[in-house]
Amino acid sequence: MLKEYRKDFAIFSVLMGGAIILYISLDTLTGIIDFIKQLSKQCNTEFISVLLKITGISILAEYAVSICKDSGETSIANKIDLGSKIIVISMSIPVISTALESLTKLLP
């Protein structure tokens, strides 16, 4: 309803709504981070940190894409989406190469 009358305020209400939802979900996020810390003690810490960074980039990019689409800027949303995918792929190359090296050592 706000979007019909005051489009400029509608964007701010979407941003505030997202911030409120993020604040409410911090308890759950804290539990997830604690679980990942326990998991990183058992596994290679380098891979866990890369996976966390990739996940964070993906979440933030999806949020930015949603805001751009809500405000009617689909071309910017598409560029953010493409840029985030390129960043995720470039960050995952070391993990993929190490996994392939381990796999080739296991196979005769």
The maximal CA–CA distance of the chain, rounded, in angstroms, is: 68
**pLDDT reported for residue 4:** 67
Q: In whole angstroms, give the CA distance from residue 45 to residue 61.
A: 24
Q: Which two tokens stand for residue 13?
A: 């209400």
Torsion angle defined by CA atoms of residues 73, 74, 80 and 86, in that order, rounded to the nearest 10 degrees: -160
**pLDDT reported for residue 75:** 92
Q: In whole angstroms, give the CA distance from residue 66 to residue 73.
A: 10
pLDDT per residue, tens digit, the chain (108 aa), is: 656 667 677 777 777 887 888 788 887 878 887 887 787 777 766 777 788 888 889 988 998 898 888 778 899 999 999 999 999 999 989 888 888 888 888 886
DSSP three-state, residue 26: helix
* Cα distance from N-terminal residue to C-terminal residue, the chain: 64
Give the closest residue to 76 by CA, choosing from 38, 84, 107: 84
**pLDDT reported for residue 67:** 83
**pLDDT reported for residue 1:** 61
**Where in the sequence is the domain holding 77, given as residue range(s)?**
2-106
Q: How many domains does the chain have?
A: 1
Q: In whole angstroms, give the CA distance from residue 5 to residue 94.
A: 49
**pLDDT reported for residue 52:** 82
